Structure 1
Amino acid sequence: MRWQFHILLLFGLWTGINQAYAQFGPPGGGPGGPGFGNQDDRRKKSDFTGVTEDTPKGNGKINGLLIDSLSGKPVEFATIALINQKTNKPIDGTTSDTKGAFLMSKLAPGDYRLQYSFIGYKNQNSKPFTIVKGSDINVGSVKLSPDIRTLGEVVVTGQAALIEEKVDRLVFNADKDLTAKGGDASDVLKRVPMLSVDLDGNVSLRGSQNIRVLINNKPSTIVASNVADALKQLPADMIKSVEVITSPSAKYDAEGAAGIINIITKKNTLHGLTLNLDAGVGLRASNLGLNGSYRQGKLGVSLGGFGRYMYNRASSTLDQTTLTGTQAQRTNQQATAFDQPLFGQYTLGFDYDLAKDQSLSASIRYGTRNFVQQQNQLTSTYLADSLLSMTNRDVNRKDLSNSVDMNLDYVRTFKPQQEWSISTQYSRTGLTNNFYADLLNSGGTLTARQQNLNNNTNQEFTIQTDYQTPIRKNQLLEFGGKAIMRKVDSDYRYLIGSSNSELNNDPTNPSGSLAYNQNIGAGYISYTYVTPSKYTFKVGTRYEYTSISANQSTESRTYTPLDIPNYGNLVPSINISKSLKGGTTLKAAYNRRIQRPGLQQLNPNPNAANPQMISVGNPNLSPELTDNFELSYSSTIQKTYLNAAVFGRLTNNAISQIRVPSDTLAGGIITTFQNIGIQRTYGANIFFNTSITSKWSVNGGLDGYYVYMQGQTPDANGKSITISNTGVSIGGRLMSQLQINNGWSAQLFSFWRGPMPQLQGTMGSFYMYSLGVRKDLANKRGSIGLAAENFVGNGVTMRTNLSTPLLTQVNTNHLYNSNVKLTFTYRIGKMTFEQQRKKGRSVNNDDVKGGEGGDGGNQQAAPAGGSTQSGGRPR
């Protein structure tokens, strides 16, 4: 029941704020600010029921602080009324600010009592007290108790929104998703507005894969190496929400051309010892997770482990025509694959309150990946209509990795919203990407063997410090600095041999290595201002200087320095919001982003597991710069939340895939990366979330974009020519959730993405759908769920077309991803509430490619409070 209570409590607070907003307008002159109000914007006493302008005046004062009795947090915007004991009517009143504090002055002598009230809390009354001339009474901290009965009624009429909008981000509350249980983070991201996840698990935001993925505001070297594989290590059951930040402020690293995706995991806030079990079994994957925590006094410790084993098959066909001189050569390939990946993640963390205003937190996360794939490739090559050759390859691929992230964070709070923090992080990932291939002739006889050994490490150390302080009542200043020391090493070689000889170095694919060092120094300043006319301005700028030293060696181990220049970038950001009546918000934003190349794009190892589709990185890549523009509108119309936006993205020196014919293998294609030049993207998206009944909700949306790309590619004569491509891509999603009696619930989800333009062709469309049901166990101790995905037909097919002056290609991938899964969760342990802890800020590397306040009122509320003595402090 604990999670339901928190949702209901937040709903009650939000309802109260909305009522105060509707009656008196935003406290402090404007919403969307950093959580402070304009104390000069005082409300008239006639704003409160029974209070008139001829209220007796005096010089008495009374002040205090309202806090939640369970969480210890301030109770914002609660109504405080001064009640005359003789008439039993309010003669003065005010509301608490964002710190929970309140003040009433110019009070006449007399006998009074205080009343406090706010939606979601029990009304509370103080004992009578007396104000005499010159009284200055401090009531201290008054604890308000949540009204469990009232909150229980709220859950029938409304639920926490699946999609929420904040000043600079859109939040998807993933813990309400039924069908993603038993899956991984990529299953959750498929349901998030503005995001697309393809069949390989690659994530794009508004059509761009140039994004930064964070976990609890923290980076990870495994994410920098391969986003798709990293997401498979994070269980869906541990994800609380996903934040999509399309216009990051100057406080964030400048990386991520399209924006930032921040995955927030569930945090155990229970007091005592608890243990959670999550298990699932399905046709394509099974998972097991155990998470425990111990919290007592100032110390909290958590320990968790998760494992997932997958088993799935896929097939593909490749039809390709390559221009060789004056002749066209055709290649056809039929391939099948069986995947057996095993993922694991283990976490250990603690937090400790050093003092009332100081806290220390630390964590260590270890992730492992064992991705094994068996492939069979039958390739036929034709000249005119004559068969030139036929090759059969049996390939065993092994993508192995282990990663560790260690954080140590300290925060010091001087007063509300004034704090200083220092954070450190060390991350290291070891990657092994090998394959072993048997080459057979058309009769099935082994003719040769090939092996590729590729070992990589990616490590970085980060230290950062941040400081923020309010200026007056409606301004906030933030500034800080950061240093990142990053080192990437790659060592690779190819071995080849006959059917009965030892494997030796392959002369056509020489061995080599890459040592890549990157150091980044950054500083930022950000300023937020809330105007009396309900505008919020958040402006800032960030400067980042990047120095790079790199050396590449050949088989002879002769290191050659790469001429990669250092660079500095100034990246400004502007966010403006305007709140209108009826809960409507308009926002405009501009920011500049940097996209540095990731490990996969830099690694010079030629990955020829499939010689018809070789991939190789480019260590000479430069970063790309993107200017982002966005206008958005959001409003709540009765029971429907609506969000619409238009955006533009202008990128120079864009990093993109380039495909050229292989010089050594007939029909082979090499895919590499280059700074192609120009990319212009313009688009729009609209999303809605509506409650048809108190138990039935529907949400969904449409998004689309137009893109223009221009770059360089070789022609038939080997000269570089300029090519361009344009296109439109449209996608949509629809989700429906139904709460049924006796703890039963159901959910339907569907998603579709149309063809996506690329510089040299078009990536095919794809879709998915799922249906799930869940039954809660007694006392909400756990649940049993059953979900089916793509259960009609035999999986999903995606067709990609490629066209250049030298080749045309049609690649069809078929993923047999029909799935049925059974999930089970159970929770044991002592479950009592504890007060909220102040957590240390954490390192937030997002640089690699891969509230309101002030006086107001609620005249519908009936107040309450503590006791007092004549002229003294109420208790």
Structure 2
Amino acid sequence: MNKLILSFSLIVLAAFNLTAQNNNEVTITGKVFEKATNFPLEYATVAFINKTENRIVTGGITTESGAFSIPIPSGTYDVTIEFIGFDKLTIPNQVLTSDKNLGTIGLAENAQALDEVEIIAETTTVEIKLDKKIYNVGKDLTVRGGTVSDVLDNVPSVSVDVEGNVALRGNENVRILINGKPSGLVGLNSTDALRQLPAESIERVEVITSPSARYDAEGTAGILNIILRRSKLQGFNGAVTANVGHPESAGISGNINYRTGDVNIFNTTSYDYRKVPGNSSSYTQYFNKVYDENGVLINDLPDSYLDETNDYDRIRKGISTNFGVEWYITDSASLTGSVSYRNGDNESNTTNKLTQYDVNGAFVSESNRFDPEEEEDKVMQYALNFMKDFDNSGHKLTLDFQYEDNSEDEFSQVFVEGVNSERVSTLEDQSRILLQADYVLPIGEKSQFEAGYRGNFNDQDTDYEIAFLNTTDNEFEINNNLSNFLNYREYVNAAYTQFGSKIGSKFSYLLGLRLENTRITIDQPTSGDYSKKDYNGLFPTINLSYELSGDENVTMGYSRRIQRPRSYFINPFPSRSSVTSIFRGNPDLAPSYSGLFDVGYYKKFGKVSLNTSAYYQHATDAFSFVSYDTGRTETVDGQELSVIERSPINLAEENRYGFEFTVTYNPMKKWNVNANFNIFQQSVIGTTPNGLSLDNESTSWFARLNNKYTLPGQIEWQTSLNYRGPSSDAQNEREGVFSANMAFSKDLFKDKASIAFNVSDLLNSRKRTMNTSTDTYYSTSEFQWRERSFNLSFTYRFNQQKKRQDRGGSNGGDFDYEG
């Protein structure tokens, strides 16, 4: 253990010494592998010991591919390479007077050392890299037994509102990837899918606010890359987690891995059952006075009032599995095939009560609706990956093929005063093919060229049917004015190239350009409408980094992004959420383009790490949702109620400014504090087709504090506090939302097992309160998607050590050129 502590301390000191060197500088490169398997070792430490002074002059750590590139003053050194659980290797008497590649360095596993590893410093939940933030899911106690939606709500820079909508720095147009690629695992409805995938299936989440050209240009806010669990340890190993909770919930998940020789087999499977009660209420005042275009009163009717309440009784059941085989064809080539399957079976029963009052507040009428809904969604995904390393310098080719088949079937009924008066069915089918090729070519010791192609071909069919009860013959009749069938096709072909280099030991840059061609066809056989869109876009990216010292960096990034309208955004047929509330798509909706600028600063002060960013985004043709009175009415219990319609439109422009900082504080081995604060301002300039100005400016913010402490008896205690500040747009004002989560965990059986208890929304305060104001009505509403919940989980690990050793720094080194 003393050797490990000494090695880590010397490497940190060496980072400071590096900036003080004035000698002739050379760059030493190489790769570190596990000798038995030829698998790269990430976070291995490489140290250069001056032979004359017998001290470490500088050092560094290896990347994910096992590579290192370290500038040092010319001289004669002993080079040492270490990794936890492996024998230390020393390469003596290296005369380093010019750039040199040490080649492939193999380390042998030390079985005794693996069993004797002690806790030095627990890996932080959040790691800050130069070009991304990495959130390690396994270290967060508050999400055990939860879902991916719970995970994302604890990720720095990310917020999830009470309806499950994910936002990055306050912008909901965020691209969500699985293992770096679009995936059907997030389903046709990503909000619902993220609430069904178990947190235990996720290893980490990468927050990328300035994506390189290798990534899709979709997502004006940036990218969230969800990395699924997958082990590569030798032999048979894995873990199983079971959980129970209140409101009634239960689940079991397991991830297993078997590796022998040239073959690695991996599987993650989970089953989840949970009840999710929720509620909402609204109170609306209708202004029944009617004015002409000159503002002259032409119809002076008294105001009316509507009180609406909803109780949601939901049951969610789901199974998901991912099975794959990785074959190491040679030491430099591998082929991986995997199959993923997810099946969700959901029930939702909504009890709706409408009460109408006159201008004096006197009771007028009351109606009760009961809306039972059943939903089943299935996802089948097949993936094939081939990777070829041409040498040990990072020269490689990667090929990917992915096919998905998704379906989502919904069936709902409406009972008014006990009578089944309405039936709605929605059948959605989607198939997607993804083709991808990426080529990486190192140029010299400090530069890298990359080029690639991605084709994303998406076919989606939606069959929406609504039928009403004919009280004359007591039969249901399909309403052809509200029912429709939509064929939606979106094909995106993209090619990119980028070049990155390091100048000296301090300045790095990564420049890229991506070309995307989008072809969209919309076919509506019901109405005979057919439209086609075909457009190209160029998307440059710039990422710069300057290392002020070993623990201080400045970064700057620019990327051009696009937001394409989804199929339901452009489907002109109306869909009803209630008798008086309609959503209608806009077939003329154009894509929105934006430019995103980001300037970041990282500094480590002893036990404190600070990462700050200032960002600006300018968007043209930005989307906004507009509500207006249709002028139509629906008869409810003999009363005429106005029908409100909501639809997306393109605004002239949108500007976002923001500042955020993340602070990590480790005062001692058993205490870790992480805080994230983000404040942003949004200004909107635009006018609706009927001349209504939507100009608006609003400021909002959110803050998150995570405190993790080890109590006596090695009981881990974690508290998470979240606050989302108030916000507003042209028609809506949202009040702030505060929530708190708490968890306790204890390791058992010599760290082979863990038991954890957590409470989500401790104060039952996670509710959205919103006020909406238009010329014809004013409404205030409150919505709580999920009430407070309790969860108890037990995890058992077999043939694997609990990963507690912090094997890497927090500033991350150079850019990840591969995106």
TM bin (shorter chain):
0.7 to 0.9
User: Does the aligned pair in 2 maintain the 1:330–1:382 contact within 8 Å?
Assistant: yes
Give the alignment partner of residue 348 of structure 1, picking from 323, 327, 341.
323
CA contact (8 A) 1:322 1:661 kept: no
**3-state DSSP of counterpart to 1:155:** coil
Which one-letter code corresponds to 1:414 in the other structure? F
Cα drift, residue 598 of structure 1: 2.4
Q: Which residue of 2 aligns with 1:405?
A: 381
Amino acid across the alignment from 1:517? R
2:177 to 205, 209, 214: 214
- The equivalent residue for 1:239 is 202
Contact 2:738-2:765 at 8 Å conserved across structures: no
1:404-445 per-position Cα deviation (integer Å, ceiling 9, x unaligned): 2211111111112111111111122111233100112xxxxx
Aligned to 1:134: none
1:565-604 maps to which residues of 2 (within 5 A)? 565-604=533-572
User: Which stretch shifts more, 366-375 or 251-260?
Assistant: 366-375
Match in the other structure for 2:16: 22
Deviations 1:202-260 (A, max 9, x none): 11111111001112213223536222211123211232221110000111110010000
1:331 is aligned to 2:306: yes
Counterpart of 2:730 (choices 759, 775, 779) is 759
Q: 1:664 to 1:252 in 2, by over 3 A?
A: same
- Is 1:738 the counterpart of 2:709? The answer is yes
TM-superposition CA deviations, 1:639-696 (whole Å, max 9, x none): 0111111111111111222212243432332222222332111111111110122211
Q: Which has the larger radius of gyration?
A: 1
Distance 1:674 1:22, change over 3 A: same
Quickly say closer, same or farther: Cα 1:742–1:605, change in 2 above 3 A. Answer: farther
Equivalents in 1 of 2:57, 2:703: separation in Å?
50
Letter in 2 for 1:300: N
Identify the structure with bigger relative contact order (alpha carbons < 8 Å, sequence gap 6+).
Answer: 1
Q: 1:141 to 1:646 in 2, by over 3 A?
A: closer
Q: How does 1:422-441 map to 2 (within 5 A)?
A: 422-440=399-417
Q: State the alpha-carbon separation in 2 of the partners of residues 114 and 12 from structure 1.
A: 17
The 1:77/1:388 distance shift into structure 2, 3 A limit, reads closer
Q: Which residue of 2 aligns with 1:559?
A: 528
| Residues 430 and 13 of structure 1, relative CA distance in 2, 3 Å threshold | farther
Return 95-104 or 282-291, whichever deviates more. Answer: 95-104
Moved more, 420-429 or 249-258: 420-429
Give the stretch that moved more between structures: 175-184 or 743-752: 743-752
Aligned CA distance change for structure 1 residues 409 and 711 (closer, same or farther; 3 Å): same
1:646 is matched with 614
Residues 603 and 768 of structure 1, relative CA distance in 2, 3 Å threshold = farther
* Aligned counterparts, 1:816-835, within 5 A: 817-829=787-799
Q: For 1:68-125, what per-residue CA distance to the aligned partner results, in whole angstroms no more than 9, with x for missing partners?
A: 5577537977346697xxxx99799998996579999x999xxxx9774658676656
The unaligned stretches of length 5 or more in structure 2 are 96-101, 291-298, 635-640, 804-812
Instruction: Give the one of 485, 493, 498 matched to 1:521.
Output: 493
Tell me the TM-score normalised to structure 1 length: 0.81
Match of 1:357 among 326, 332, 335: 332
Amino acid paired to 1:188: V
Contact map agreement 1:67 1:144 (CA 8 A) in 2: no
Alignment of 1:397-476 (within 5 A): 397-415=373-391, 416-440=393-417, 446=418, 449-476=421-448
Deviation at 1:780, TM superposition (A): 1.5
Q: Which amino acid letter does the alignment assign opposite residue 753 of structure 2?
A: G
Aligned to 1:773: 744
1:389–1:267 distance in 2 versus 1, CA, 3 Å: same
Aligned CA distance change for structure 1 residues 387 and 501 (closer, same or farther; 3 Å)? farther
Structure 1 residue 590, shift from structure 2 partner: 1.0
- In the alignment, does 2:522 pair up with 1:546? no
Residues 210 and 125 (structure 1 numbering): CA distance in 2 closer, same or farther, change over 3 Å? closer
Matched with 1:487 is 459
- Distance, in Å, in 2 between the alignment partners of 1:95 and 1:533 is 13
Which residue of 680, 685, 688 maps to 2:660? 685
State the alpha-carbon separation in 2 of the partners of residues 237 and 316 from structure 1. Answer: 30
SS in 1 for 2:693: strand
Give the direction of change, closer, same or farther, for the CA distance of 1:26–1:670 in structure 2 (3 Å limit).
farther
CA distance in 1: counterparts of 2:170 and 2:60, whole angstroms: 45
> Which string of whole-angstrom CA distances, capped at 9 and with x for unpartnered residues, describes residues 604-649 of structure 1?
5533242233333334422111111111111110101111111111
Instruction: Please tell me whether the aligned partners of residues 582 and 636 of structure 1 are also in contact (alpha carbons under 8 angstroms).
Output: no
Q: 1:515-561 CA distances to partner (integer Å, 9 max, x unpaired)?
A: 1112111111111121116111111111111112211132xxx5221
Whether 1:478 aligns to 2:450 is yes
1:803 maps to 2:767: no
**Pair 1:258-2:221 in alignment:** yes
Alpha-carbon spacing, 1:70–1:16, altered in 2? closer, same or farther (3 Å)? farther
Structure 2 distance, partners of 1:365, 1:538, is 34
TM-score w.r.t. structure 2 length? 0.86
Deviation digits for residues 765-789 of structure 1, max 9, x if unmatched? 2222122111111122111111123
Matched residue, 2:344: 369
Residue by residue, what CA displacement relative to the aligned partner does 1:3-38 show, whole Å, maximum 9, x if unpaired? xx9xx98x99876653332122399x9xxxxxxxxx
Tell me if the contact between 1:271 and 1:830 (Cα under 8 Å) persists in the aligned partners.
no
* Root-mean-square deviation over aligned CA pairs: 3.8
1:69, 1:660 → 2: CA distance? Answer: 68
* 1:195–1:610 Cα change, 3 Å: same
Q: Determine if contact 1:679/1:710 at 8 Å carries over to the other structure.
A: yes
For 1:546, give the aligned amino acid.
T
Measure, in 1, the Cα distance between the counterparts of 2:10 and 2:580. Answer: 63
Choose which of 266, 291, 301 in structure 1 pairs with 2:265: 301
1:192 aligns with 2:155: yes
C-alpha distance in structure 2 between counterparts of 1:204 and 1:96, whole Å: 35
**Which of the numbers 338, 353, 364 marks the counterpart of 1:378?**
353
Is the CA contact 1:66–1:143 (under 8 Å) kept in the aligned structure 2? yes
Larger deviation: 614-623 or 368-377? 614-623
Residues 684 and 40 of structure 1: CA distance in aligned 2, closer, same or farther (over 3 Å): same
* Distance in 1 separating the partners of 2:481 and 2:357: 25
Q: What corresponds to 1:841 in structure 2?
A: none
Q: Separation in 2 of the partners of 1:273 and 1:225?
A: 35
Do the aligned partners of 2:205 and 2:224 also contact (CA within 8 Å) in 1? yes
**Kept after mapping to 2: 8 A contact 1:329/1:667:** no
Q: Which has the higher mean CA deviation after the structures are superposed, 615-624 or 194-203?
A: 615-624
- Counterpart CA distance in 2 for 1:268 and 1:123 is 24
Give the partner amino acid of 1:732.
Answer: A
Q: Distance in 2 between matches of 1:154 and 1:646?
A: 40
Q: Write the distance in 1 (CA, Å) between the matches of 2:759 and 2:379.
A: 32
599, 608, 616: which one aligns with 2:584: 616
Match of 1:566, SS state, is strand
Change (3 A) 1:471 1:396: same
Q: CA deviation at 1:852?
A: 5.8
Q: How has the CA–CA distance of structure 1 residues 803 and 96 changed in structure 2, closer, same or farther, with 3 Å as cutoff?
A: closer
Q: Aligned AA for 1:681?
A: R
SS at match of 1:712: coil
Higher strand content, 1 or 2: 2
Match of 1:291 in 2: 255
Paired residues in the alignment total: 773
User: Contact between 1:26 and 1:534, CA under 8 Å: does it hold in 2?
Assistant: no
What whole-Å deviation, never above 9, does each CA across 1:310-348 have from its counterpart, x for those lacking one?
213222211123345344443221221211122221111
Deviation sequence 1:676-717 (CA, Å, 0-9, x none)? 332111111111110122211111122111111233347xxx
For 1:585 and 1:726, how far apart are their aligned partners in 2?
33
